[in-house]
Amino acid sequence: MKIVVLSGAGISAESGLKTFRDHDGLWEGYNVYEVATPEAWQANPEKVQEFYNMRRKAVLEAEPNRAHYLLKDMEQLADVHIITQNIDNLHERAGSRKVLHLHGEITKARSSARHDLLYAMDGWELKMGQLCELGSQLRPHVVWFGEAVPAMDEAEEITAEADVLVVVGTSLQVYPAAGLVHCVRPGTQVYCVDPAASEYSKQSNVIHIPEKAGTGLQKVYDALRTLI
């Protein structure tokens, strides 16, 4: 059995990492469009670097939570693929082996000149003046608003092969990632872990679990154990 998990910011919130959609578009006092767009980078790269340095520091100080470890435990039941909208590395640190990051990885830097030139970071700070091998400024390896999502094709292929889809920690409001739920084959069982109901969670093939990530995924795990 192939279980595909679509995870969002709500799963990392339980590790203390902030989500901007809970604060009317403000992320710890920043307007996201002033720090998370190509235009923001062109206008004020120092501000963008500072913002992501603080996010990276918070990620490195955070620890995986119960939800992350439950997804790792699911690998004992089936072939688990995680497609995450999150830029942190908490899934990997919990031990999950197959993780696809749609929006990049904050623990890596990339060239401003070529998006495929990536560099692992040692520590939390990326400074102005740090250059790639082509001589261009290094920027955070994240997909900003208005940029293409290079991993979408792979994510769609993985989702289309799912026997079970688990949606956790996402309100399904950010596209194109939210469109992945429509890639599953007709009749595929879907578990939607979200404290709030949505139009999607009311569909006939969706089991809505109105819980936070940790408690909700425990119910999903228990249900899957009875099926496998």
Euclidean distance between CA atoms 190 and 172, whole angstroms:
14
| Catalytically active residues, by annotation | 103
- Residue 46: Cβ-neighbour burial (10 angstroms; 0-12, 13-18, 19+): exposed
Map tokens 């595909």 to a residue.
4
Joined tokens for residue 63: 């620890």
Joined tokens for residue 222: 């228990």
* Contact yes or no for 83/149 (Cβ under 8 A): no
Joined tokens for residue 87: 């830029």
* Contact yes or no for 212/10 (Cβ under 8 A): yes
Joined tokens for residue 147: 């940029």
- Residue 98: Cβ-neighbour burial (10 angstroms; 0-12, 13-18, 19+): middle
